[in-house]
Amino acid sequence: MKAVVFAILTLLVAGLHAQMSTAGFVHNALSDSVDTKHSSMGYNRDPFYFFSGERQISLYPMAFSEAMAGSGLPYSAGAGVWVGGSINNNAHFKISPAFTHAVYPKFIGEKFDSLNFFPGEGRTLYSSGKSNGYLSVPVMFTHELSPVFTLRAGNEKTFLGDGYRSMLLSDQGAEYPFVRIEANLNQLRYQHQISRWRQQMPDGHSETKFSATHYLSWMINSKLNLSFFESVVWKAEDSVRQRGFEWLYLNPVLFFRPAEFALGSPDNMLIGGNISWNIFPKTKLYGQILLDEFFISEIKNWIKHSLHPSDSSIPYGAWVNKQAFQIGIKSVGLFGIGGLNALAEFNFARPYVFSHRDPMMSYTNMNQPVAHPLGANFYEFVFRSQYKKEKWSAHFNAMYYVTGLDSAGTHFGQDLLQSTFDGPVGNGNIPVQYYGNVVGQGVRHNIIQTSAEYRRMFRYANTSFVWRLGVLYRNDQSEVGNSSEMYVYTGIFLNLRPGEWNFR
């Protein structure tokens, strides 16, 4: 597998062709069409093709219907409306309520049929047999306070990074209420976001938690970007008092660690960074690192073990080393062929990262991860490609990942909603071993999922129709058995971008 990934990366770099120059300081991502129009600044991605134009208010209907044939007959359908416009020259809004009904593919249903949450979204409206319904209401208000400062608020998702996945903050989960202040100083851009997250408890009721996130994006020159990230999660009510909103975390220029210590260090703190380099005008290398907990002494033990793997006296694999990272490359106009775009990406998350001794303070919203949708205790290879002409496109996507799941009465670090500690803490936790933890521990699953599809776009006035026809194959090899699924699928989408079932 390492050889395959190396070969893909080599082909991507070898086929590069400089077709256009870049100048000045830009924070936008490459205008690729591999469905990864992310930028390191992390503006919310709008899922729809159309935006408000010269008119003050624009309205577009949305609808889709898709059926799959294979292991069962899953299907999905939905409808909604997109409304956006300008209140004045400095204030803008968009709202796009939509209802979705779905019968999941088998591999999705195995996880989500028993949960009260829609994959990659929030709480279901209803779940009857294998049928599930969900109502999404994304809202965004934007007010340009000055040429430097912008205020955004609403009920949306945020993505930080340049890849297909994010190890910092992703839009592949449920939307949530937030308010964000942004500063644009050309080479430097900064944002401070306060978010309200929810978590459903075992008895069925929901509780509130908050997160505060700082993100500084520095465009060092026209090709190199370096970004810094920190986030803290706290619950609205602890065992001592009703905390509600923690005002210390409202300071937009304060590092969170001193504030957390001032509060007695009760909260879940994460730090990290993002780097991207346009090595060629249409090719970008990028990477991320996320530190949940970091102990230098245990890192030294890991290095010693790597150098002397046969020495059993060296302790390694401490659960307290909770880190994740990403490295990838993406290119537009690959091999000098206009419309041929590709991405190759590797994601890695150690066991127990993003989790906490108090499950309420895990890095989750609506009981789902807010970073990578696979949670923790995994490594993943992603390859995405597309050849696009004016009215049609061909896509080939693949992902391979290894993870370790729990069996009854175990906690191997993939489930972020389990209490994580190496001894009893009085909250029903399953103690974990201090040393010897490796990625893939537990019930190991080796999963490969590939899809190939053809898309055709039709336009009429301000309306866009996308029809697609594709095939999906998934193979899951585990210690408890092997399974394979194949589906042929087709669907039509009105003013919507087609989605994917790639949450597990």
CATH of residue 166: 2.40.160.10
pLDDT for 155? 94
Q: What is the DSSP letter of 6?
A: H
**Residue 393 in this model has a pLDDT that exceeds 90:** yes
pLDDT for 434? 93
**Residue 275 in this model has a pLDDT that exceeds 90:** yes
Domain-located, residue 35: yes
Domain count of the fold of the chain: 1
**Residue 243 in this model has a pLDDT that exceeds 80:** no
**Residue 18 in this model has a pLDDT that exceeds 50:** no
Mean pLDDT for all residues in the chain: 84
Range of the domain at 31: 2-128+141-494
> Of all residues in the chain, what percent carry a pLDDT higher than 90?
52
pLDDT for 184? 87
Of 118-127, 246-255, 404-413, the poorest mean pLDDT is in: 246-255
Confidence category of residue 44, pLDDT binned at 50, 70, 90: very low
pLDDT for 259? 53
How far are the Cα atoms of 245, 258, 306, 420, 496 from residue 238, in angstroms, in the given order?
A: 12, 20, 41, 18, 42
Domain-located, residue 339: yes
Domain-located, residue 432: yes
What is the mean predicted confidence (pLDDT) over 128-143?
92
- Of 433, 426, 427, whose CA–CA distance to 410 is shortest? 433
CB proximity list for 482: less than 8 A, separation 6 or greater: 475, 476
pLDDT for 102? 96
CB atoms < 10 A from the CB of 206, how many? 11
pLDDT for 245? 64
What is the mean predicted confidence (pLDDT) over 113-124?
88
What is the mean predicted confidence (pLDDT) over 69-90?
91
Cβ–Cβ < 8 Å for 305, 314: yes
Domain-located, residue 115: yes
Domain-located, residue 120: yes
d(CA 488, CA 374): 25
pLDDT tens digits, 154-179 = 999 998 988 899 999 998 889 999 99
**Residue 433 in this model has a pLDDT that exceeds 80:** yes
pLDDT for 466? 93
**Residue 239 in this model has a pLDDT that exceeds 90:** no
pLDDT for 339? 87
Domain-located, residue 418: yes
Domain-located, residue 436: yes
Domain-located, residue 503: no
**Residue 24 in this model has a pLDDT that exceeds 50:** no
**Residue 108 in this model has a pLDDT that exceeds 70:** yes
**Residue 2 in this model has a pLDDT that exceeds 70:** no
d(CA 403, CA 440): 5
What is the mean predicted confidence (pLDDT) over 121-147?
91
What is the mean predicted confidence (pLDDT) over 384-391?
91
- DSSP labels for 349-394? E-TTTT--SSGGGSSEETTEESS-TT-SSEEEEEEEEEEE-SSEEE
Q: pTM to 2 decimals? A: 0.88
pLDDT for 186? 81
pLDDT for 200? 86
pLDDT tens digits, 445-480 = 999 999 999 999 998 877 889 999 999 999 999 988
